[in-house]
Structure 1
Amino acid sequence: MQDKTSLAGRVIMITGAGQGIGRALAECAAGKGARVALVDINQQLLSETVELIGEERARAYVGDISDDVFVGNTVNNIVDDFGDLHGLINNAGIVRAAMVHKMTLAQWQQVIDVNLTGAFICLQAVGKYLIHKANSGDPNPGSIVNVSSDAGRRGTVGQINYGAAKSGVLGLTMSAAREWGVYNINVNSVCFGMVETAMTETVRQEKFREKYLQQIPLGRFSTPDDVAPATCMLLSDMANYITGQHLSISGGFHIGA
């Protein structure tokens, strides 16, 4: 019986692939048979991810996803290097924490530039290529998964910039799904809760730990390996009739319509 979760023969672009969730996504996609084009601003960390997966399946593209010229050139380079592109996991993100009344405009803008504008730039660049494939006769040009957050669905303390950006990513997902359905391009988002990465280290400290754990029905923080498989599933044939949806992979941190 055919494995509908397989990504064999596909080329997947993954942003923020140098560490944490991005690295787990890269390993998961490669483990399902994909070749992976890995993007990150940190060359050393990105090289480590490529080494883990192997140069026969992974290549590194170092740069800033909020730079539209870099992203456009990168998509072209991926197609030249691999021969095609079938999917994007729009994962790159940063945090600049501060309470609302103390947040500087620079802290606000840095997070919006990467987490929202950068996500749009990558979505647009990959979408243009997938539309070209569709217009050239490809009936299944590809899929996009945007990484949002439960913070974008329920709010967050000390990170209004992050919550606003991740809410915006949900809007990117729904609008692109409506526009691109005619091309059979699937666009979905995933919403993680509290994943054990460097970005959540502060809120997982003893001072806040129990408060957050009490809000998670499964009673534990997730790991990057917990969230990667379901994310990759949305790029596979398993999800070929799913678009415009937001999948929370958070142990029940968010439960609702």
Structure 2
Amino acid sequence: MTPIVSLEGRTIVVTGAGQGIGKALVETVIGLGGNAVAVDLNAETLNAVAAAQPADRVLAVQGSVADPALANRAVAEAVAKFGAVHGLVNNAGIIRPAMIEKMTDQQWQDVIDVHLTGSFYWTRAVGQHMVERVKGGDKSGGSIVNISSDAGRKGSIGQINYAAAKAGMLAMSMTIAREWGRHNIRANSVCFGVVETPMTEVVRGEKFRDGMLAQIPMGRWSTPDEAVKAVCFLLSDGASYITGQHLGVNGGFHISL
């Protein structure tokens, strides 16, 4: 019987791969038989992640996801090394918290550039390759997973920039699904609640911990290893008829129809 979740022979681009969810994704993709193109701004953490994996199964690409030239170069290097790209996870993210009236133009733009504009650049670069591959006769298509957040569905006090960017990524997934579905290219979003990563240290700290946990029916945070399983499912053939959807991986933090 074929495993429900397998990435055997697939090449997956993972942005924000140097720590947290991105690091766990690289490890899990390779563990499921795939190759990983690990992208991160921090060369030190990126190289550490890559060094822990077989050299023939990982490609490290250092730079800013908000650089469109980097996205194009990474796809070209991935194709040269692995033959094709089959998946993309737009995971890179930053936070620049401030209340609306105190948020600077730069704080707003920094977050939009990384989360939303960066995701567009990487989607365009990977998607163009996928479409060309399908037109050339390879009908395997591909899968794009945008890492959104419950903040994009319910708002987030002190993070209007982050919430707006994550909401935009939901619309991006739906649009990709509509435009590229005929090429067998799927696009979905995963909306995380609170995952144990450096980015969530503040909300998991003593000041906010009890209040946050009280809103989560399962009463705990998610670990990165637990969180990425849903992403890998959406990348795999197990989700071959799922596109344009938003999957909440949040312990019940946000529940809706």
Please indicate the TM-score interval, normalised by the length of the shorter structure. over 0.9
Question: Matches of 1:241 and 1:193 in 2, distance apart?
Answer: 25
Residue 187 of structure 1, CA deviation: 0.5
Question: Residue 131 of structure 2 aligns with which residue?
Answer: 131
Question: Residue 173 of structure 1 aligns with which residue?
Answer: 173
**Is 2:70 the counterpart of 1:70?**
yes
Question: Matches of 1:115 and 1:185 in 2, distance apart?
Answer: 21
Residue 205 of structure 1, CA deviation: 1.0
Question: Residue 37 of structure 1 aligns with which residue?
Answer: 37
Q: Which amino acid aligns with 1:57?
A: R
Identity %: 54
- Which stretches of structure 1, 4 residues or more, deviate above 2 A after TM superposition? none
Give the secondary structure class of the aligned counterpart of 1:207: coil
Question: Matches of 2:212 and 2:141 in 1, distance apart?
Answer: 40
Give the secondary structure class of the aligned counterpart of 2:72: helix
Q: What's the C-alpha RMSD, in Å, of the aligned pairs?
A: 0.8
Q: Which moved more, 1:135-144 or 1:124-133?
A: 135-144
Superimposed CA distance per residue, residues 57-111 of structure 1 (whole angstroms, 9 cap, x where no aligned partner): 1120001111111111111111112111111111001100111111111000000
**Is 2:233 the counterpart of 1:233?**
yes
Give the secondary structure class of the aligned counterpart of 1:128: helix
Q: Which amino acid aligns with 2:23?
A: R
Q: Which moved more, 1:104-113 or 1:74-83?
A: 74-83
Question: Matches of 1:50 and 1:249 in 2, distance apart?
Answer: 26
Residue 157 of structure 1, CA deviation: 1.2
Question: Matches of 1:73 and 1:52 in 2, distance apart?
Answer: 23
Q: Which amino acid aligns with 1:103?
A: M
Residue 53 of structure 1, CA deviation: 2.0
Question: Residue 52 of structure 1 aligns with which residue?
Answer: 52
Question: Matches of 1:82 and 1:139 in 2, distance apart?
Answer: 18
**Is 2:102 the counterpart of 1:111?**
no
Residue 56 of structure 1, CA deviation: 2.4
- 1:1-257 alignment runs, 5 A limit: 1-257=1-257
Give the secondary structure class of the aligned counterpart of 2:76: helix
Question: Matches of 1:231 and 1:206 in 2, distance apart?
Answer: 30
Q: Which amino acid aligns with 2:67?
A: D
Question: Matches of 2:11 and 2:182 in 1, distance apart?
Answer: 22
Q: Which amino acid aligns with 1:251?
A: G
Give the secondary structure class of the aligned counterpart of 1:81: helix
Structure 2: runs of 5+ lacking an equivalent? none
Question: Matches of 2:231 and 2:8 in 1, distance apart?
Answer: 16
Question: Matches of 1:105 and 1:203 in 2, distance apart?
Answer: 24
Q: Which amino acid aligns with 2:189?
A: S
Q: Which amino acid aligns with 1:33?
A: G
Structure 1: runs of 5+ lacking an equivalent? none
Give the secondary structure class of the aligned counterpart of 2:172: helix
Give the secondary structure class of the aligned counterpart of 1:93: coil
